[in-house]
Amino acid sequence: MESRKKKIDILITILVLGSLWGLSEVILNGIIRQTGIPYRTGILIGVGMGLMGIAVGIFKKYSYLFGIAVVAILCKQLIVPILQVSIMCKANSCLAVIIDSLVLTGAIAVIGSKLNKNLMYRIAGGLIAGFSAAVVFYFAGMKTAPCPSLLTFAGLQGFVLFILNRGLVWMIFSGIFFPAGYLAGNRLKDIVFILRVKKPLVYYAFSGAIVVCCWLAVGLAIASGY
């Protein structure tokens, strides 16, 4: 019975964090674009790393990160039925989300149990993931659906400039947001457990409300051209 409840907790966490990530990719992205805040991609990647960090902080495992990324992508892809556009419309940004989850999973796998014992290892995990994401995204993006922005970094010199202009920024934001997310998850785990045990209706209703609100907000934002 407890094992079944844990699986439900994991599923809820994936849905909640993935929906919040999708929300940030659409609405926070729009806000940053409109206000002209610098380091837009760095902030968005940092937020994604932080949300995945919450999951790692709660469960002390990293096998669920890909699931969180999939939910975020599905949320972003609401643009397809709403605006009747191609699924490739958001190919690059969706590719970035998948890459973020994979490189963070790899970084945590390399660091191992030390991640849960020392802050410096968590910072290192974020730094490694952020830098790796930039390298993988560059080559994968060039091969799949290179956007005009990415094509400005074509060639060896372009790759070096991409790493200097984007990669280092992604690395720094990931090195800050991932350990911060882990800390938040580590503190939330007892609260979540107590709430599920003592007030299960509140726990499930609140979690469901977050997911529904995120998807509705994303849908409305897309429909309004945000």
pLDDT at 2 over 70: no
Cβ distance 44 to 24 under 8 Å? yes
pLDDT band of 197, cuts 50, 70, 90: confident
Total domains in the chain come to 1
Helix axes 91-111, 119-144, angle to 10 degrees: 140
pLDDT of residue 115: 94
Give the pLDDT confidence of 63-80 residue by residue, as tens digits: 899 999 999 999 999 999
pLDDT digits (tens, 9 = 90+) for 109-122: 999 999 999 999 99
Percentage of the chain surpassing pLDDT 90? 76
**pLDDT tens readout for residues 157-168:** 999 999 999 999
Token output for 72: 């975020």
- Lowest mean pLDDT: which of 81-90, 94-103, 127-136? 81-90
Note the pTM of the prediction, 2 decimals: 0.93
The per-residue pLDDT for 105 is 97
Does the pLDDT of residue 47 top 80, yes or no? yes
Mean of pLDDT values over 151-176: 94
pLDDT exceeds cutoff 80 at 145: no
Sequence-ordered list of residues with C-beta below 8 angstroms from that of 165, at least 6 positions apart, any chain: none
Residue 17 has pLDDT above 70, yes or no: yes
The pLDDT of residue 177 is above 60: yes
State the residue range of the domain holding 214.
2-223
Q: Is the pLDDT of residue 1 over 80?
A: no
| Three-state DSSP class for residue 198 | helix
**Residue 53 in this model has a pLDDT that exceeds 90:** yes
Euclidean distance between CA atoms 138 and 103, whole angstroms = 13
In the chain, what are the helix, strand and coil shares in percent, each to the nearest 5?
90, 0, 10
Instruction: Look at residue 48 in the predicted model and tell me its pLDDT.
Output: 98
Report the pLDDT value the prediction gives residue 225, as an integer from 0 to 100: 80
CA–CA–CA angle 175, 22, 212 (5° rounding): 130
State how far the Cα of 117 lies from the Cα of 153, in Å rounded to an integer. 39
